[in-house]
Structure 1
């Protein structure tokens, strides 16, 4: 009897799939016109940065970009290796089939090369997932992993479910089985991207991981809710919501026209240009702009850029946090791309 993952098609799931299917048409048309190789690369770097940040990699987006460009970066060697591996894995997506165990193991070997002993192999021991000192999930015994993964991959190969739903279900089941000793989170997100790419090739460059990172606590809550119910439905609803948000953001980026240029003051334009694709704090921004008078910086540069949604805080709920940093919004990234060709 073939394995059937437990989940329910709720009205929320139906509505999300319909909304995504409607929005994906506009995204496809716009992306085919304006998703340049440079923008595809930038989106992929954002994806890698977000997926690794979820796993506590502390490198900034600017540092991740530098690593991928082959520049020297001051950072922990393991975190730098994680970036190199992730970029290689995402670049290899075109060569893999989502229902192939061989490809799955090859992807894990590439993603975790030099980071663990069992890279490219299912785990040989038990594993539990902890929050602090509390055990929140005990994965199935190691001796069951090969059969559980074989069942899951067979289901993926034969299911008639919509790929949007199938990708989310696979992602949850994969995290539940936790087939590897390490790297399960980033592998689950990578493989869902592969499943989405098979449905629409342009989704390989959609940074859903950025949306997940911005609502990371809800990601874990959705996994926990699915575990508690022994049913993937809460996680499917969560991931479809993040996917819809990512597609809508991408549509907004591509729909922006050159008219936005006229709305940028000279000071805000300079601020956007010095930020590039990184995350900087106030002092770093002032230094990059060559400013020493903080009130001038705030009144003419920072506050107008925030008010017009060219930049955003990394900690929006704590605007006065001493660790506050700033990054470009989708609108700001689009403007910068237009200025740099």
Structure 2
């Protein structure tokens, strides 16, 4: 019997991406050392759930998901609430799964589908008409090959001597090609990609590759249409590697998560002095101690502190402008790109300064809180 070999050819582009990914993993590991707490992981699981569902064209908002996870605030649609609960719980327990186990794959699929009327969480079967003539999508792999193919993929992953990250990308590619289940393939494939990455380096618990995939959803869809042909499969794997690299480059600890783990909007009263964690790559020192608005003995404001705050505003505003690029985006879309979840912090530290500095403008300037409001970068 011929040994299984995935459909790809190692390219120079893949090698260069793997080199960059390794460098970024080293950088992020140092910066995150000692700072990966349960709250940070929870925030990123919420982002993963939101982005993964958004890729399935779900209209559940980030605020709904976060409110439900933190406070149990019900989501209007009971089905949506069940979807969020199931996927969040699957991410929460994924570190306990064996990434090479078909039984664990079934278990994760059953978790995602829990509470829904689904005939089976087993591998899909080709449909049969009343006359028992088997029919299937011409673009789909016939179902009789699925069990053996999944088993071969897992065995290959365990034995292959390739870099772990490219093996993760290849497994994701194979899942997208096979579409092994009748429903739920997208969220399950992304869950398994996350699981494999986290098994390789635990820093991926604290970042969301799903977010970056969602940012690039159109390119992602175009590539999946042609998946299965050698050259197109290589492009898809390169795309996944790029996505992982961009996720690492954007990796950050948000300023709203203080070191003691209690959530805050990073807006402190006069005289407060706290230690807080700044976004990585912002040009500021992580875990730097800031004194906010402290008054000196003569009653005047500390000039150094005010200058420091102004510098922070400039940095945040420029980061927002870079996140916008040449696109016109909503508040939620910009926050997703920045990896932020707390809207008051975003408005106070990023959006308002950027507008005041003339870097960003509203598409509906007369109604700042309009539901149709979007923002564009001023050239």
Q: What's the TM-score once normalised by structure 1's chain length?
A: 0.74
Aligned-partner Cα distance in 1 for 2:358–2:109 = 38
Aligned-partner Cα distance in 1 for 2:72–2:116 = 21
C-alpha displacement at 1:68, in angstroms? Answer: 1.4
- Secondary structure of the equivalent of 2:29? helix
1:254 alignment partner, one of 272, 280, 283: 280
Contact map agreement 2:8 2:230 (CA 8 A) in 1: no
**Structural mapping, 1:230-249, within 5 Å:** 232-249=233-250
Contact map agreement 1:34 1:254 (CA 8 A) in 2: no
Aligned-partner Cα distance in 2 for 1:4–1:176 = 14
Q: Which residue of 2 aligns with 1:55?
A: 56
Cα gap change, 1:111 to 1:220, in 2 (>3 Å): same
* CA offsets 1:146-186 (integer angstroms, 9 cap, x no match): 12211222212221111110111110111111111111111
Higher helix share: 1
Contact map agreement 1:212 1:219 (CA 8 A) in 2: yes
Aligned Cα root-mean-square deviation (Å) = 3.6
C-alpha displacement at 1:110, in angstroms? Answer: 0.6
Aligned-partner Cα distance in 2 for 1:32–1:207 = 18
Q: Which residue of 2 aligns with 1:163?
A: 164
**Structural mapping, 1:88-99, within 5 Å:** 88-99=89-100
**Structural mapping, 1:15-34, within 5 Å:** 15-34=16-35
**Structural mapping, 1:259-274, within 5 Å:** 261-263=309-311
Contact map agreement 1:121 1:180 (CA 8 A) in 2: yes
C-alpha displacement at 1:35, in angstroms? Answer: 2.8
Contact map agreement 2:95 2:199 (CA 8 A) in 1: no
Q: Which residue of 2 aligns with 1:274?
A: none
Aligned-partner Cα distance in 1 for 2:358–2:203 = 26
* Residues paired across the two proteins, number: 289
300-309 or 204-213, which moves further after superposition?
Answer: 300-309
Cα gap change, 1:309 to 1:75, in 2 (>3 Å): farther
Contact map agreement 1:82 1:111 (CA 8 A) in 2: yes
Q: Which residue of 2 aligns with 1:75?
A: 76
Gaps of 5+ in 1: 128-134, 270-277, 282-287, 290-297, 314-320, 327-341
Cα gap change, 1:230 to 1:180, in 2 (>3 Å): farther
Aligned-partner Cα distance in 1 for 2:359–2:169 = 32
Aligned-partner Cα distance in 2 for 1:227–1:3 = 15
Cα gap change, 1:157 to 1:306, in 2 (>3 Å): farther
Aligned-partner Cα distance in 1 for 2:74–2:115 = 18
Q: Which residue of 2 aligns with 1:272?
A: none
Aligned-partner Cα distance in 2 for 1:136–1:304 = 52
1:279 alignment partner, one of 319, 326, 332: 332
C-alpha displacement at 1:102, in angstroms? Answer: 0.8
Aligned-partner Cα distance in 1 for 2:63–2:87 = 16
User: RCO higher in 1 or 2 (8 Å CA, sep ≥ 6)?
Assistant: 1
1:323 alignment partner, one of 363, 368, 372: 372
C-alpha displacement at 1:27, in angstroms? Answer: 0.4
- Secondary structure of the equivalent of 1:41? helix
Gaps of 5+ in 2: 129-135, 254-278, 291-307, 318-330, 335-342, 363-369
Contact map agreement 2:18 2:241 (CA 8 A) in 1: yes
Cα gap change, 1:33 to 1:4, in 2 (>3 Å): same
C-alpha displacement at 1:323, in angstroms? Answer: 3.4
C-alpha displacement at 1:15, in angstroms? Answer: 0.5
Contact map agreement 1:108 1:119 (CA 8 A) in 2: no
- Secondary structure of the equivalent of 1:232? helix
Aligned-partner Cα distance in 1 for 2:190–2:147 = 20
Q: Which residue of 1 aligns with 2:126?
A: 125
**Pair 1:217-2:218 in alignment:** yes
Which has the greater radius of gyration? 2
Contact map agreement 1:62 1:279 (CA 8 A) in 2: no
C-alpha displacement at 1:79, in angstroms? Answer: 1.7
Q: Which residue of 2 aligns with 1:336?
A: none
**Structural mapping, 1:283-298, within 5 Å:** none
- Secondary structure of the equivalent of 2:115? coil
32-41 or 56-65, which moves further after superposition?
Answer: 32-41
